[in-house]
Structure 1
Amino acid sequence: MPFNQHYNKHLKAFAKNHRQGSTKAEIRLWCELLNKGKLGVSFLRQRPVGNYIADFLCKELMLIIEVDGYSHNFKSDEDSARDKVLSDLGFTVLRFSDNEVMHDLPNIQRTLETWIAEKKAPNL
């Protein structure tokens, strides 16, 4: 696995713009769950990966979290293709809707805590 987790420096400026233009749901997920190691692992915001910008990336677990707004309702084929490319690079992609983040954050927290615990558990 590459040391830089497929970091694409050519997308750095785009990623910065994405961080500055984060959605309310992305900001809420970041502030309430993902920043400062609140789930026991570190996440980066708007990280260039391959030819994409991941909403949130955990290098340690090779995990990408995407927060999908209304526009993603019409992009399921694009999202599936993107997820396949990222999977082929070794990442797991978990997707949550804006609505889930804004109205059911405790369930997202349980989902992430369970996924992280299973990923970190030694294989028996």
Structure 2
Amino acid sequence: MKEILTHINGVPIHRNFVENIPYNPHLKILLKQKRKAGILGEVLFWKKVRARTFHNIDFDRQRIIGNYIVDFYVKTLGLIIEIDGSSHDEKQIYDGIRQEYLESLGLTIFRITDFDVRKNIDVVMKDLECFIIEHFGTTPSSKIP
């Protein structure tokens, strides 16, 4: 049985640490630029999760994984949170290739829109709780006898 990381709504959430995540050091310069850009949806989401304020879960902002920079990453769950703004409207093929690569590493992706983060942050946080429970939680009915 995997180690319990936290509990959400009484449901134990199990660690899902993914090892050997590739890292491209050449992206470090872009990382700094992206952080300084201060995209509103990302800033609002970060205020909700930084310093373990969301169920004591540690989130990283702007994390390099392979040749990509993801918006948020939870190392202990192997969970990526992507906030899609208008820049993603014309990038469905690129996003699909990117998502396929990230999932091939054993990572799980939770996508939300920048609009929802800006206008419905409380709903987004509830949706994230449900997503984490669904993918990393163990409820009494899902236990194997």
TM-score normalised by structure 1 residue count: 0.89
Identity of aligned residues (%): 35
Unaligned 5+ residue runs, structure 1?
A: none
Mapped to 2, the partners of 1:104 and 1:51 lie a distance apart of: 31
The 5 Å alignment of 1:90-105 reads 90-105=106-121
Unaligned 5+ residue runs, structure 2?
A: 1-17
Is 1:106 the counterpart of 2:128 in the alignment? no
CA contact (8 A) 1:39 1:113 kept: no
Q: CA deviation at 1:113?
A: 1.1
Partner of residue 68, structure 1? 84
Mapped to 1, the partners of 2:82 and 2:96 lie a distance apart of: 12
Q: Which runs of 4+ in 1 moved over 6 A?
A: none
Structure with the largest fraction of helix = 1
The higher relative CO (CA closer than 8 Å, separation ≥ 6) is in: 2
Partner of residue 105, structure 2? 89
How many residues are paired up? 122
Partner of residue 6, structure 2? none
TM-score normalised by structure 2 residue count: 0.77
Mapped to 2, the partners of 1:84 and 1:22 lie a distance apart of: 27
Partner of residue 36, structure 1? 51
1:46 to 58, 62, 70: 62
Structure 2 counterpart SS, 1:2: coil
Q: CA deviation at 1:8?
A: 2.5
Structure 2 counterpart SS, 1:80: helix
Q: Deviations over 1:78-109 (max 9, x none)?
A: 11111000000111111111111111111110
1:19 to 27, 35, 47: 35
Mapped to 2, the partners of 1:110 and 1:57 lie a distance apart of: 18
